Structure 1
């Protein structure tokens, strides 16, 4: 297969991301080749383009970690067939990103798109919701009635955690830096929101839930704001280290963990077993089909505007999705 692909040729946000011709051969076992319809965007794209993403040290790789698309070729033993519409995580660590006409998708990290779910929403789903599931279900085993505080609650992973927490039956407080992002968290189901710039985040978080301590802190942001929010955790609380949108992970005081019986939990969605992935995708796609989970897409970006989107990432709430291709009118529309 031949087509276009956005690739990082040098670590420069202004000139380093270029669209060029590419070729795709038959997929290896464990992967399928898909014609990309839409691709989800995120902060990692910008980190990759700057040369700051772990494991991608040399230029010459594609961008775009998640897609919705049509299967065009499979390896022997695949559970998919050509023509299936799937969503999943690309083989971006091997250089095959989703901002392209075709890409390879890891079967273990994919699922059929439920009927009635658009290509755009399907492309926005895989990474954020799989990460939220790892954090809240697999790594933390949260319980109905617990208090969940979500940092970066207006971003894609934060909004996914808000929705999943509410679906589980938790009381959810969103923490976000702008009024737009706080409004998005409320629309996603948060019971209350708090300004990330608060002078006393610990007090504001506890006031938001009637004086209760926070049981679980979902932290894709890190830095000083995460440390301030972690002070609101009660005894037995769990600090979920999900990311570092601020540029640094949360500073952890081991003596503080000891004295308050607080647990710090690392969350990496790529470090899961096939059995965990299968169970997660079954549950998540059911919840997506039932409307319990619904990606918040605020911007649809034409293929030609990928470099500008990467440069400007992070200014608004919700998810951006790149529109790569179209399908025949006989199939569900975007």
Structure 2
């Protein structure tokens, strides 16, 4: 059984600079004081079912790290909201990125490959951390920015007028990222704004302002992505690929993998694998020893003598957070003769 601490990708001000947008930040501005804008969700997905918020804006001042609830589901200097899909297969199938409000295309970039930043290195991505990207101008000083778009998926060009909900691109893996997600940013007169409560980047997590979402979006405290079976142990390079559709009785191993965001010290992970007769085949509990933004864990067994029993196998992963309600994911796989 192996654990892995994810190397997070920091979203920096270079995103805006890389798209050649000149921004001026008011020296004394604190929040989006003019609550004259509402934004729709920028992805065509069902939050909590096939997409998840994996990182919020950093609201902590200086070196402090805090999201808008004053929890730590972010990282230092993170200026936007990250929304992920389950795996590369889902990304390849095409997940529409949507205009969050009516506006005009101000800038865009395309042509960068959908390759993990681990394989390219920071130097190769310097000044292009946002990857394939798009900036929309909504008038009255409001802008939105969309990063890590799939190469060749942009459907608009500079000067195009868009309506809220229009498909403008697809989610991708371009730029400084190691997993498929959209990095979504909001600005008011050059100031980075958190759409969850209208507060400003690194200006404190306690505000009396209102959120900017047209429909309220619930806070996601802990995230357990869909669990999956495979015939081999995942690595940091393969953990974002989809699981095996089926296995055979002669497969080399039966491995159950879980991936989670916002992992906290003292969370308890419980793995359980049952054979086609419902009998307990394997069980394992793992106590997390430190906070992690992302963590994956796998558990399984090599092929027994005579092979695996044919039929439908069931894998269950349950995370009991050190605070909050338990979360569970269940998956099934057919083992063929």
Q: TM-score, normalised by structure 2?
A: 0.24
Q: 1 or 2, which has the higher strand percentage? A: 2
TM-score by length of 1: 0.24
